[in-house]
Structure 1
Amino acid sequence: MLRHPKGTDLALERIRRLLSALGEPQRRLPPVIHVAGTNGKGSVVAFSRAILEAAGLSVHVHTSPHLVSWHERYRLGRADGPGRLVEDAVLAEAIARVGQANGDEPITVFEVLTAVTFLLFSEHPADAALIEVGLGGRFDATNVIENPAATLVSSVSLDHQSYLGDRVELIAAEKAGIFKRGAPAVVGLQGESVALDVLRARAGRAGAPLHVYGEDFFAFEERGRLVYQDERGLLDLPLPRLNGRHQLANAALALAGLRAGGFDPSEEAVAEGIARAEWPGRLQRITSGPLHALAVPGAEVWIDGGHNPGAGVAIAEAMAEMEDRVPRPLFLISGMLSTKDPIGFFEAFSGMARRVFTVPIVSSEAGMPADELADAAIEAGLDAEPCDSVAEAIALVSTGWRSQPAPRFLICGSLYLIGEVLAESGLAPQ
């Protein structure tokens, strides 16, 4: 079935042909919130889902990529409680139907997975569907949704340059490709003004009513609370369960997107959703499993799958906040794909990380060799050495450690690596 010569080929002709053969399931979805962005879009989806479910609504969720299991990409909403990952038999049957409909025509893996999304979401009732873009936006296979309730773009920065362009303004233009005439376009906090300029211009060109973080809605921390503000007034909310100051803006984007898309959750539902939203592999603390057991007693083990310079800045800021609260020596354990910008990622940790241990990624043939990654970390101004595994890196630091306080480990650089850590720790997303 997967006959296309390229693993990634951004175009819409093949997915449209396949969906036509399936009877156009993308036209029979519940109201869709379509989410693009370089960093934060998964967290925005997590906040949106938690808020809607706290409001008593059933929610389908498509995210990409998965960490441990393909099932993570498909969460089916239920009327009697939170949504659940798709069951084996249901997923297998949907994949078989998509394969039969496609026949021997060229198709990519992500296009098959996207067709499965629309098939599943069209045949199981729900009140809303949250659909995360896979790559870019304009030519992403999810961008066949014709009438979304709202389109959201989280932070835009450099990533996937070989597909999306080597300048932020080019990448922003690709993300803005999900904007649709008449559908509200809600834009989150942008680190570079040029990205916002492009998103604003593209929304105007598309005829999409624009809502911008910092202009139409805001979020800030005050006295240990999250204060959200838009034209309807202020909401006094709990801080997100998700770690990092960047999650304030992500939570605000989620709420603004839901409101723009016609959903009106109560303040109680918003508060509950923000407080309980979870998103595995993003500044998640590991407190059990064999890797944690290797660490010196009292040490902290954190993981984050961010893998581009923008993500590096956000993660480093979160680590700095932790350092302010509880000072600990910081050690990075990092593996990255060869398509990423390791120097740009590591530069954010200059002067902060005591040492970087680089490791191979065994679950991807595209992983960068550990010695090359160590050279990149050194070029970024960090002390670094290659290791064979995460376990070896933790053991190198922990064996014979006598000083106080105990160290803080951050395992980072790739969602593939984070998936391996979660699987080894018995913490696969549920």
Structure 2
Amino acid sequence: MSKDKTSDVILDRMMALHPKVIDLVLDRVWRLLAALDHPEQKLPPVIHLAGTNGKGSTQAMIRAGLEGAGKTVHAYTSPHLARFHERIRLAGTLITEEHLTAVLDECYAANSGETITYFEITTCAALLAMARTPADYTLLETGLGGRLDATNVVDKPALTILTPISMDHEAFLGDTLAKIAGEKAGILKRGVPCVVGPQPDEAMEVIEARAQALGAPLIAHGQHWHAFEERGRMVYQDETGLLDLPLPNLPGGHQIENAGAALAALRHLQAGEAACDAAVTQAVWPARMQRLKHGPLFDIAPEAELWLDGGHNPAAGEALARHLARLPQRPTHLICGMLNTKDARGFLRPLAAQAQSLTAVSIPGEANTLPASETARMAQETGHTAHQAGSLADALQAIAAQDPRARVLICGSLYLAGNVLRENG
């Protein structure tokens, strides 16, 4: 393959097609999809997910469940952590470099130099690859919002899913929960059932009104299904009966609610008992309380308990704090890097009670990183004992020198997590 035809080169070229990273309209997507002969109309049955937190984990559990029942599944997710190829899974396998390069090149040519965002054109490439590859189901995760997201182009999905909605991306989605919920609920389609995870009342009112207007049946947490922990097991209950399952293999109490949404989806699809068991025991989703056990960072502190999480908004901070509180007691230190577009104080505040210290770092190679000094200042304002370091390695060395057997959580951004996983995954 010639050097100017690698996926990285084409992706770089695509970045120049629109001056903004985010510009929420669907006109450009419809134009390119028409030029590609409408791949969005040729996909295997689609399950479309939106929400603020838990989309990726819920999608991973649904995929594990369907594959556990012997089905083949396409999956589209964003952002990627280490390599772009992670975003596109075809019939269970990550897209190859050759296939990715071919569909990117085809989309770039079909776009004919017109204005289009990076996410829009790469989403079209994903839909093109999925439409041409046989599978039983297609899982589509929204990138941002829902109503105007580039994935919101399928007229009649098999099912939609709304995971918990909270404040995030206010500059694009609105400054109230109701406005954000309105954007997320934009994925609902006339007559198509929607599984709804736990929601604040303000968000649920908007979802219910939208569903009623479209005649879209809701399968809602707390009404049609329940999921909870009991005696070290997960109990799921809906109108067809009760399931007694192992706790989700993805760590964190919040994963029980995500698993509940996945199970509600699988039960609706009549995927069977093997699917429900596989959903909670076989799911893999990197950078969600992921234990790091090898790589350069592990080598710096081999006696430490080293964790990685990509959560970055207030709801994620609360979920992480709850999870840390339930772990066996051990001195806990945070290494945190965040983007300047996130509510850093909201993320950091709930974690203060669980951490002995926080060391702030800037995210390497990321233009929108919050400077380490700013993260440290905000951490102090929210109750942390805060320091800053020039790199992740420096931060970890300082913690290990003080307490070799500490619990260390690297957190604050998926971009920071991706940086870690490129060398320590």
Give TM-score, length-normalised by structure 1: 0.94
CA offset at residue 207 of structure 1? Answer: 2.0
Query: Partner of 2:353: helix, strand, or coil?
Result: coil
Does the alignment pair 1:177 with 2:186? yes
CA offset at residue 195 of structure 1? Answer: 1.3
1:363 maps to a residue whose letter is: G
| Alpha-carbon displacement from aligned partner over 1:136-161 (angstroms, at most 9, x marks no partner) | 00100000111000110101111111
1:125 maps to a residue whose letter is: P
Does the alignment pair 1:315 with 2:315? no
| Alpha-carbon displacement from aligned partner over 1:403-424 (angstroms, at most 9, x marks no partner) | xxx2110100000000111112
Distance 1:352 1:7 in 2: 35
Q: Which residue, 188, 194, 197 being the options, matches 2:197?
A: 188
Distance 1:335 1:350 in 2: 15
CA offset at residue 289 of structure 1? Answer: 1.2
CA offset at residue 356 of structure 1? Answer: 0.7
2:48 matched residue in structure 1: 34
Distance 2:308 2:76 in 1: 22
1:410 matched residue in structure 2: 409
Distance 1:266 1:153 in 2: 22
- The answer to whether the 8 Å contact 1:336/1:361 transfers is yes
CA offset at residue 258 of structure 1? Answer: 3.0
Does the alignment pair 1:56 with 2:70? yes
Query: Partner of 2:356: helix, strand, or coil?
Result: strand
CA offset at residue 206 of structure 1? Answer: 2.3
| Alpha-carbon displacement from aligned partner over 1:93-132 (angstroms, at most 9, x marks no partner) | 0001101110011100000111011101100000000000
Q: Which residue, 121, 125, 133 being the options, matches 2:142?
A: 133
Does the alignment pair 1:287 with 2:285? no
- The answer to whether the 8 Å contact 1:333/1:410 transfers is yes
2:33 matched residue in structure 1: 19
1:80 matched residue in structure 2: none
Query: Partner of 1:351: helix, strand, or coil?
Result: helix
| Alpha-carbon displacement from aligned partner over 1:223-242 (angstroms, at most 9, x marks no partner) | 22111111100011111100
1:35 maps to a residue whose letter is: L
2:169 maps to a residue whose letter is: H
- The answer to whether the 8 Å contact 1:363/1:416 transfers is no
Query: Partner of 2:339: helix, strand, or coil?
Result: coil
Does the alignment pair 1:298 with 2:303? yes
Q: Which residue, 253, 257, 264 being the options, matches 2:261?
A: 253
How many percent of aligned residue pairs carry the same amino acid?
Answer: 50
- The answer to whether the 8 Å contact 2:259/2:279 transfers is no
Query: Partner of 1:350: helix, strand, or coil?
Result: helix
- The answer to whether the 8 Å contact 2:45/2:157 transfers is yes
Distance 2:87 2:399 in 1: 35
Q: Which residue, 334, 337, 356 being the options, matches 1:335?
A: 337
CA offset at residue 400 of structure 1? Answer: 4.7
Q: Which residue, 341, 348, 351 being the options, matches 2:350?
A: 348
Query: Partner of 1:292: helix, strand, or coil?
Result: helix
2:369 matched residue in structure 1: 367
Distance 1:9 1:400 in 2: 46
CA offset at residue 363 of structure 1? Answer: 3.0
Change beyond 3 A, Cα 1:400–1:332: closer
Query: Partner of 1:235: helix, strand, or coil?
Result: strand
Query: Partner of 2:126: helix, strand, or coil?
Result: helix
2:151 maps to a residue whose letter is: T
- The answer to whether the 8 Å contact 2:233/2:245 transfers is yes
Query: Partner of 1:104: helix, strand, or coil?
Result: coil
Distance 1:45 1:215 in 2: 22
| Alpha-carbon displacement from aligned partner over 1:365-410 (angstroms, at most 9, x marks no partner) | 00010001111111111111111111111111111537xxx21101
Deviates more, 1:46-55 or 1:267-276: 267-276
1:214 maps to a residue whose letter is: G
2:419 maps to a residue whose letter is: E
CA RMSD of aligned residues (A): 1.1
CA offset at residue 290 of structure 1? Answer: 1.2
2:283 maps to a residue whose letter is: A
Distance 1:259 1:15 in 2: 33
| Alpha-carbon displacement from aligned partner over 1:54-94 (angstroms, at most 9, x marks no partner) | 000000000110000000000011xxxxx110000000000
Structure 2: gaps (5+ residues): 1-13
Query: For this pair of structures, how many residues does the alignment match?
Result: 411
Structure 1: gaps (5+ residues): 78-82
Does the alignment pair 1:151 with 2:145? no
1:70 maps to a residue whose letter is: F
Distance 1:216 1:400 in 2: 50
Give TM-score, length-normalised by structure 2: 0.95
- The answer to whether the 8 Å contact 1:258/1:264 transfers is yes
Q: Which residue, 163, 166, 171 being the options, matches 2:172?
A: 163
Change beyond 3 A, Cα 1:400–1:372: closer
- The answer to whether the 8 Å contact 2:263/2:279 transfers is no
